[in-house]
Structure 1
Amino acid sequence: MKYDQIPNSLFKKNRKKFMDRMQPKSIAVFNSNDIYPISADSVLPFEQHRDIFYLSGADQEETILVLFPDAINKKHREILFVRETNEHIAIWEGAKLTKEKATEVSGIETICWLKEFDKIFFDLMTEADTIYFNTNEHYRQAVETQTREDRFIEKYKHQYPAHKVAKSNPILQEIRGVKELEELTIMQTACNITEKGFRRLLGFVKPGVMEYEIEAELLHEFVRNRSKGFAYPPIIASGNNANVLHYLENNRPCNNGDMILMDVAAEYANYSSDLTRTIPVNGKFTKRQKEVYNAVLRVKDDATKMLVPGTLWAEYHKECGKLMTSELIGLGLLDKADVQNENPDWPAYKKYFMHGTSHHIGLNTHDYGALKTPMKANMVFTVEPGIYIPAENMGIRLEDDVVIKEKGEPFNLMANIPIKADEIEELMNK
């Protein structure tokens, strides 16, 4: 792995939080992701399932974590099963986790080879009444592929039909949403790498540069700072491309007089950062561009102040809509009649700002976290308002990642990344 090894104290705390919430005489199982094929002998780069990583730190395929806090044998209360390595595998694929290294990474004392799983698991299930399956219940999930976790559930439901079934996901949504200090430190590192990439761009962008050239500059800076690369597919959207919210082609020239909306950020140690900045191609905003830009910035700053313990996510977004409505009226894009006659299910401001303002961020860019209960300290949210005006050939979005504090305003993990229009112009024209 490119990243520095994470102290296993983090994974010990995470497992304890999960096990403290399990039912009596219950067992929970977490599987690594598959390696996904492309065609022939080609595969996608391996990405670990974030749940097993969160609970064990094991960043390797063909891995299973079993948690059984009421196991009679204390050695069976936490077991990590890993693929048995050998000299042949080491030559062709590189070093895999040994039992000793798996304990060092995870803090789990009982490490077994994967081939032993069925025998040991049968013995454990004779002691358990309930099994926790790890289903994907994220509010934005739309997965059609059958995963390793899905196949496990299908097999063991059939094999153990008399056991009660429980869901891991509600527990994970609760505990993963509130970050530990170690996690915040890793996320700050991801944001710092993102900052290096953005500052590099400010001296690189000029009329005629291709969007993909900007993508290449970012990737180079991210990887040379020990990131695997982008935390999510990069959006480098110049001119009217910025009005396509998930524009991914990144294949157009950046023209003089246009702006570039860049929704790009680095990962580090499987944790995401999530940044959006909008800059002028020629290093100078027009008067109108700056007016709209500053309106978006005001909404972002005011929305950030509302992210405090006790805030309800749904109510927060309603208040953000009111902030945006006021700014759009000031820009002449809406008038009071538009607001008075609006459809409550699709308010007038949605014509120019059609997405949400904030989402949880962490091991996933759109991370786990409670959304129907009040916000808590150490939750981390993006703040990303935007105004999109195809008729004026512009789309502006600004985004930072902020940590909710117990008291006072949130802490901005991206506070050092330039955002004020004058500062961006100054840095681009050095």
Structure 2
Amino acid sequence: MKYHPIDNKLFVKNRKNFMSAMRPSSLAVFNSNDMYPISADSAMPFEQHRDIFYLSGVDQEESILVLFPDSPKEKHREILFLKETNDHIAVWEGEKLTKERALEVSGIKTVYWLQDMEKVMFELMTQCDTVYINTNEHYRASVETQTREDRYTDWLKKKYPAHTVAKSNPILQRLRSVKDKIEIDLMQQACDITNKGFRRVLDFIKPGVWEYEIEAEYMHEFLRNRSKKFAYTPIIASGNNANVLHYIENNQQCKAGDLILMDVGAEYANYSSDMTRTVPVSGRFSDRQKEVYNAVLRVKDEASKMLVPGNLWEPYHIEVGKLMTSELLNLGLLDKADVQNENPDWPAYKKYFMHGTSHHIGLDTHDYGLLHEPMQSNNVFTVEPGIYIPEEGFGIRLEDDLVIQESGEPFNLMRDIPITVEEIEDLMNS
């Protein structure tokens, strides 16, 4: 792994919290993700399933975590099953986790090799009544592929049909949405790496560069700072491309006078950052671009103040919509008749700001969190308003990552990343 070792007390605590929410006489199982093939002998880079990582710190394929807090054998209350390493694997793929190293990473003392899994699981399943299976119930989930977790669940339910089945996801939705200090520090590192990438591209951008060249500058800076990749597919959208919300082709040349919307973020230790900045190709905003830019920035700053414990996600977005409506009226993009005659299900401001303002962020860029429950301290949210004006040839979005505090305004993990017109122009022309 490129990242520095993580203190395993994080994973010990996460398991303790999860097990405290389990039913009596129950067992929970979590699997690593598959290695996904491309073609011939090629495979996609491995990405660990965030749930098993959250509970164990294991960042390796073909791994299984079992939690059984009521096990009659103390050694079977936390178990890891790992693929047994050998000299051949060490030569061709590099060393995998040994039992000793797995203990250091996870804090779990009992480690079996994967070939012993069925035998050990038979013993465990005779001692429990309920088995927790891990399903993906994220509100944005759209999964068409059967995962390793799915296949294991099918096997388990078929082999042990008399057991009661429960779901891990509701527990994880609550736990993962509230970040530990160690997690916040890891996210801060991801944001700091993103900051370095952004400052690098401010020196690079000029008329004639290509969007993919800007993407490459970010990637260079991310890799040299121990990030393995972008946290999500980057958006480098110049000119009218910025009005395509999920523009990812990044294949156009940047022209003088245009703006470039850059929605990028580094990952660090599987934790995401999510930044958006919009900058002028020529180093200076036009008066109109500056006017719209500052309107977006005001909405972002005011929306940020509403991220406090007790607030609800849906009413929060309604209030942000009111802020945006006021700004669009001032910009002449809406008039009073537009607002008076608006459809309540699709307010007038949605013509120019059609997406949500905030989402949870953490191990996933769109992280776990129950949106019907009140915000609480140590939730981490993005704030990302935008105004998109195809008829004027540009779109502007600004985005930071914020930690909700027990009292007062949230803590901005991207506080050091330049965002004002003056900061950006000064850096691009220094």
Length-normalised TM-score, structure 2: 1.00
Q: Aligned AA for 1:352? A: Y
Q: Identity of paired residues, percent?
A: 73
Q: Which residue of the partner structure matches residue 184 of structure 1?
A: 184
Q: Which residue of the partner structure matches residue 391 of structure 1?
A: 391
Deviation at 1:56? 0.1
Structure 2 CA distance for aligned equivalents of residues 28 and 333 of structure 1? 54
The Cα offsets for residues 157-177 of structure 1, whole Å up to 9 and x where unpaired, read as 111110000000000000000
The Cα offsets for residues 112-160 of structure 1, whole Å up to 9 and x where unpaired, read as 1011100000100001100000000000000101000010111111111
Structure 1 CA distance for aligned equivalents of residues 392 and 340 of structure 2? 25
Q: Which residue of the partner structure matches residue 376 of structure 1?
A: 376
- Are 2:97 and 1:81 equivalent residues in the alignment? no
Q: Which residue of the partner structure matches residue 194 of structure 2?
A: 194
Structure 1 CA distance for aligned equivalents of residues 256 and 250 of structure 2? 17
Deviation at 1:45? 0.3
Map 1:19-418 onto structure 2 (within 5 A).
19-418=19-418
Q: Aligned AA for 1:178? A: V
Q: What secondary structure does 1:377 align onto? A: coil
- Which structure 2 segments of 5+ residues have no match? none
The Cα offsets for residues 278-327 of structure 1, whole Å up to 9 and x where unpaired, read as 00000000000000000000000000000000010011000010010000
- Which structure 1 segments of 5+ residues have no match? none
Runs of 4+ in structure 1 off by over 4 angstroms are: none
Structure 2 CA distance for aligned equivalents of residues 104 and 214 of structure 1? 39
Q: Aligned AA for 1:316? A: Y
Q: What secondary structure does 2:204 align onto? A: coil
Q: Which residue of the partner structure matches residue 420 of structure 1?
A: 420
Deviation at 1:100? 0.2
Q: What secondary structure does 1:345 align onto? A: coil
Deviation at 1:352? 0.3
Q: Aligned AA for 2:24? A: P
Structure 1 CA distance for aligned equivalents of residues 407 and 52 of structure 2? 32
Length-normalised TM-score, structure 1: 1.00
Structure 1 CA distance for aligned equivalents of residues 105 and 396 of structure 2? 42
* Alignment length (residue pairs): 430
Q: Aligned AA for 2:325? A: T
Structure 1 CA distance for aligned equivalents of residues 143 and 326 of structure 2? 38
Deviation at 1:422? 1.0
Structure 2 CA distance for aligned equivalents of residues 360 and 328 of structure 1? 26
Q: Aligned AA for 2:58? A: A
Q: What secondary structure does 1:172 align onto? A: helix
**Aligned-pair Cα RMSD in Å:** 0.4
Structure 1 CA distance for aligned equivalents of residues 337 and 128 of structure 2? 63
Structure 1 CA distance for aligned equivalents of residues 117 and 86 of structure 2? 19
Deviation at 1:369? 1.2
The Cα offsets for residues 82-121 of structure 1, whole Å up to 9 and x where unpaired, read as 1000000100110000000000000001011011100000
Deviation at 1:204? 0.6
Q: What secondary structure does 1:344 align onto? A: coil
The Cα offsets for residues 159-214 of structure 1, whole Å up to 9 and x where unpaired, read as 11100000000000000000000000000000000000000111110000000000
Q: What secondary structure does 2:166 align onto? A: strand
Structure 2 CA distance for aligned equivalents of residues 69 and 409 of structure 1? 39
Q: Aligned AA for 1:314? A: E
Deviation at 1:76? 0.2
Deviation at 1:229? 1.6
Q: What secondary structure does 1:203 align onto? A: helix
